[in-house]
Amino acid sequence: METKLNKEGTKLTIEIAGRLDTLTAPEFEKEVEPALDGITDLTIDLKDLEYISSAGLRALLGLAQTMEDKGQMKVTNPNDAVMDVFSVTGFDDILNIV
Amino acid sequence: MNQLDIPAVITNLPEVLAFIGKHLDEVGCSTSDRYKIEVAAEEVFTNISSYAYNPEVGSASVRVEILNDPITVEISFIDNGVKYDPLARPDPNTSLSAKERKRGGLGIFMTKKFMDDVNYEYKDGQNILTLKKTV
């Protein structure tokens, strides 16, 4: 798993590549949470995310919950398999997927 | 070899998935089915690693059988840890908003959704969770 953070003022884009699973999600959360300070507009770009499991969903849910009080969050470019996981868990309703 | 005996620690997850993947290669499993099987296997092995022997480290066995006509992958996870039926847990409410959502219970829920059959059995001091999917 690799993450790329791109911050412009109060806007932050996070690109996640590879696998967001039980092994990598803790590392992802540790890296991303401090970067949310002062952010009101968060984009999670999943174009290079190959795989997500429930640990990854928990990490995204944590971000969505944090951003609910701070501004907005959107999720872009999930592949079909990742979208399947979102659909079956109802995450397609709680994440703003554009 | 259709059985892998391995310490139930989360860092062994890649080895478990590789072992299962080798069997999926043999039956020409589609990418989509493989993904679903990986998600389910990750959830089950993570549960065993996190809870079965906590705080000790115990062992887990992963057994893969291929049934024919139609081709069905059957994966059993066996541990000697505390008795625990993950299927007894109520499903999470997937219609709640982000704010109302709890962070747990999604793993086994996805396992049930993605597999054709999930069966739990406690026998001779062993938890046996069996996943079945026609591929």
pLDDT > 90: percent of chain A: 99
In chain B, where are the structural domains located? Answer: 3-134
At residue B131 the predicted structure's pLDDT band, cuts being 50, 70 and 90, is: very high
Q: What is the mean pLDDT of chain B?
A: 95
| pLDDT in the model for residue B102 | 82
Give pLDDT < 70 ranges for chain A.
none
pLDDT at B44 (0 to 100): 98
A54-68 and B31-47 helices, crossing angle to 10°: 80
Domain edges within chain A: 2-94
- pLDDT at residue B103, rounded to an integer: 76
A53:B101 CB<8 A: no
Which residues from chain A sit within 8 angstroms of residue B99, using beta carbons?
65, 68
Contact in structure between B16 and B41 (CB atoms under 8 Å):
yes
pLDDT in tens, A65-85: 999 989 999 999 999 999 999
d(CA B70, CA B65): 13
Contact indicator for A75, A95 with CB cutoff of 8 Å: yes
Least confident of A87-96, B89-98, B123-132: B89-98
Is the model's pLDDT at B1 over the cut of 80? no
DSSP strands (E only) in B19-125: 59-67, 72-79, 117-123
The H or E element that residue A59 is part of is: helix A54-68
Residues of A in contact with B43 (CB under 8 A): 53-54
Chain B residues with beta carbon closer than 8 angstroms to that of A53: 38-39, 42-43, 107, 110
Closest CA to A95 of B97, B48, B128, B132: B97
Domain A2-94, CATH? 3.30.750.24
Q: What is the pLDDT of residue A71?
A: 96
Superfamily of chain region B3-134: Histidine kinase-like ATPase, C-terminal domain (3.30.565.10)
The answer on pLDDT for B105 being more than 90 is: no
